Amino acid sequence: MNLMQLIINVIYAASIYAVVAYSYYFMYSARKFLNMSHAAIIALGAYLAFEIKKQLAWNIFIVIPFSVAITAIIAITVFLLIFKPLQKRKASSTKMLVASLGIYLVLQNLISLIWLDAPKSLCSWPVKRGHNILDVYITNEQILMIVVSIALLGVLLLFSKKTTIGKSIRAVASDSVLADVSGIDSYAVVLWAFAISSGLGGLAGILIAIDVDMTPTMGMNAFMMGVVTVIIGGVNSILGIALAALLLAITQHFGAWFIGSQWQDAIAFVILVLFLLFKPEGFFGKKVKSATV
Amino acid sequence: MLKVNELHTGYGKKPVLFGPSLEISKGKIVAIIGPNGAGKSTILKAICGLIPVWDGKITFEDSCINDSTPAKNVKRGITFCPQGNRVFDELSVNENLQIGGIYLKKKELAGRIDDVLQLFPMLKDRLKQNAGTLSGGEQQMLALGRALIPRPKLLLLDEPSLGLSPNLISTAFERIQQVNRERGTAILIVEQKVRKVLKICHKVYGIKLGKVVFDGQPEQIRHDERLRQIFL
């Protein structure tokens, strides 16, 4: 494999990590707990797109927004039915995590029941060989993922800096008590953050499924890499996430080049441990202060 | 303006306040003093809606606000500066001020921010800077500025001197007095710096173990034996 091909592969992998990580970033900012159910939401987005495409035979670019919206609506329903009552009872982050794991298992098994476990493809068009540019191969699906991830970086940066909801989410992430007493309805903000995150999660699932096949458990691997990316990026920074995705992809791919691709996931978790040990605040995050109420 | 009548509340199941009553009239500065753990901050949190009222009654401009949320209270005209001049560290100074009036229309908000910047001109040069990088004195100004954006009728301040160096503490108290004088904002202030706060307030309440043990004019209280005893 030549170096240029490796670089393209790195950019593609970084794009996947970044899109999944952006999707997780908003909900984690607003309500700090490891929401495992997001892994099922990623898969759900892909399967909903598969079903809509199969039933209505729409163009994939019309299928995507519909599936994203339905995914967000389902995720919000789950939030209102399970996370909201827990939040009202002031459940700890650990209890929320356990609940989210339960939701993940239920959703993932529902996906298995409805669509069965055999791999499915969103790609109804014939598989073509990628474009050959200067001896480097890249497929349309990979180009789509890279373009979406770069566009999302710009859109999300603008969203969080310029819109009221974006600023409110950042304020709640920075200090939720201060946000409350500043007149922000933090409950509504958390709801918005979950809707945005879930929609983006669905989008990430669809983009992954366009390139590779989908299975009911596909969301978990993507989710774990997304979480690693968010932690390395610093939990409060979209730009940090983009950088972390790139760092993760570079070390994984160059590492795999030298020691073998079976070590790719291990490399990612070694980087995570190194960051947790030596730079726990991530690239652009701040050291976490305990807030008093 | 604000009446707190036999307030009972606490955290979880642990009671902290055992029926203190207090009152603040329009345009006045009222101080709550007392030792650590007396429940001073808890009173402010209950008034602004951060913690539920178990028993008793809080009325603001003749309406009961026992069940009101912090967001509703901001719109009513009650704003709160939590302990230690907290600001949104990762947000710029300008964004911090914008958050103070997040429910306002763009034009109105811009006007309010200009207003606050006239009061604290030092913040003008720092608008794009992250609030977390400001000095202690500047953060105090910003925390106060953010709470003033909604043009509150009542401002609740929880230990504004906490974490400030001695010379900055005097400036902070001057600033608070300036807000009260120039804007007519009533201020309910919780403080440990008793001598300093007695100089600027119109009335003082002494709290110990969740109960009011004395109240009166600062001149009367300054030499009162009860003031010394409350800290023993």
**β-sheet bridge partners, residue B14:** B11
What is the domain-level CATH number for residue B185? 3.40.50.300
- B87 interaction partners in chain A (CB closer than 8 Å): 178
- pLDDT band with cut points at 50, 70 and 90 for residue A290: very low
Report, as an integer, the average pLDDT of A260-264.
84
pLDDT for A48 equals: 97
Q: What are the structural domain ranges in chain A?
A: 25-225
- pLDDT band with cut points at 50, 70 and 90 for residue A256: confident
- Is the pLDDT assigned to residue A236 strictly greater than 80? no
pLDDT for A235 equals: 77
Q: Please give, rounded to a whole number of angstroms, the shortest distance from the CA of B130 to a CA of chain A.
A: 12
CA distance to B15, B162, B164, per residue, from B193 (Å): 26, 9, 11
- Binary contact (B102, A286; C-beta < 8 A): no
* Domain that includes residue B16, residue range: 2-230
- Is the pLDDT assigned to residue A34 strictly greater than 50? yes
- B82 interaction partners in chain A (CB closer than 8 Å): 177-178, 181
pLDDT single digits (tens) A101-159: 999 999 999 999 999 999 998 876 666 677 777 778 888 888 989 999 999 999 999 99
How many structural domains is chain B composed of? 1
- Is the pLDDT assigned to residue A193 strictly greater than 90? yes
Among candidate residues A43, A87, A104, the one with its CA nearest the CA of residue A193: A87
Q: Give the total residue count for chain B.
A: 232
Among candidate residues A225, A202, A217, the one with its CA nearest the CA of residue A46: A202
- Is the pLDDT assigned to residue A285 strictly greater than 80? no
- pLDDT band with cut points at 50, 70 and 90 for residue A286: low
- Binary contact (A286, B100; C-beta < 8 A): no
CA distance to A164, A178, B48, B96, per residue, from B101 (Å): 11, 13, 16, 9
- Residue B87 contacts A, CB cutoff 8 Å: yes
- Interface with B, mutate which of A89, A162, A182 (most B CBs under 10 A): A182
Share of chain B above pLDDT 90, in %: 75
Report, as an integer, the average pLDDT of B92-113.
94
- Give the residue from chain A lying closest to B10, CA to CA: A293
- Is the pLDDT assigned to residue A200 strictly greater than 70? yes
- Is the pLDDT assigned to residue B168 strictly greater than 90? no
- A174 interaction partners in chain B (CB closer than 8 Å): 88-91
pLDDT for B7 equals: 96
pLDDT for A292 equals: 31
- Binary contact (B48, A181; C-beta < 8 A): yes
- Is the pLDDT assigned to residue A248 strictly greater than 90? yes
Report, as an integer, the average pLDDT of B174-179.
90
Among candidate residues B204, B115, B120, B124, the one with its CA nearest the CA of residue B152: B115
- A170 interaction partners in chain B (CB closer than 8 Å): 88, 90-91, 95
pLDDT single digits (tens) A58-76: 888 899 999 999 999 999 9
Report, as an integer, the average pLDDT of A220-235.
91
Report, as an integer, the average pLDDT of A74-84.
95
pLDDT for A126 equals: 67
- Interface with B, mutate which of A92, A162, A181 (most B CBs under 10 A): A181
Q: What is the mean pLDDT of chain B?
A: 92
* B27 CA to centre of own chain: 14
Inter-axis angle of helices B136-148 and B166-183, nearest 10:
20
| Helix ranges (DSSP H) in B82-208 | 93-100, 106-119, 136-148, 166-183, 194-200
- Binary contact (B99, A168; C-beta < 8 A): yes
